[in-house]
Amino acid sequence: MSEGTAETGAATGGVNILLRLEGLTLFAGMVTLYAAWDGSWLVFALLFFVPDLSFLAYLSDARFGAMVYNAAHSYLVPVALLTLGFALASPLILSIALIWLAHIGIDRALGYGLKYSAGFGFTHLGRIGRQKDS
């Protein structure tokens, strides 16, 4: 398979590696900022996996599940919260944003990309989970 995009629309080769490294960098950066911010590690632990509650949307169907998962794992809302947190000097909003971005970062580093409606295992970073033998 060549660099770029596979038939599924997933990043492959060096592009996939770069996207995963970006995720790892985001995770490390947000954890470092959270530590510098002197945020509560109990709050961090309690909120870190909250975005994964979006998995529950897959109980409805794959299309709705992908939409909800992608909303919870996109940079859009947490970056807006980060900006708002700085603008309002709100420790709570900043903490939520940093934790949310750290979660997205580690997910991307581990290959859990944004989902396609074909099913949970189809991501922009490639297939995840066990593959059925053809």
Amino acid at 108: R
Which pTM was predicted?
Answer: 0.88
Q: Which stretches of the chain drop beneath a pLDDT of 70?
A: 1-8, 130-134
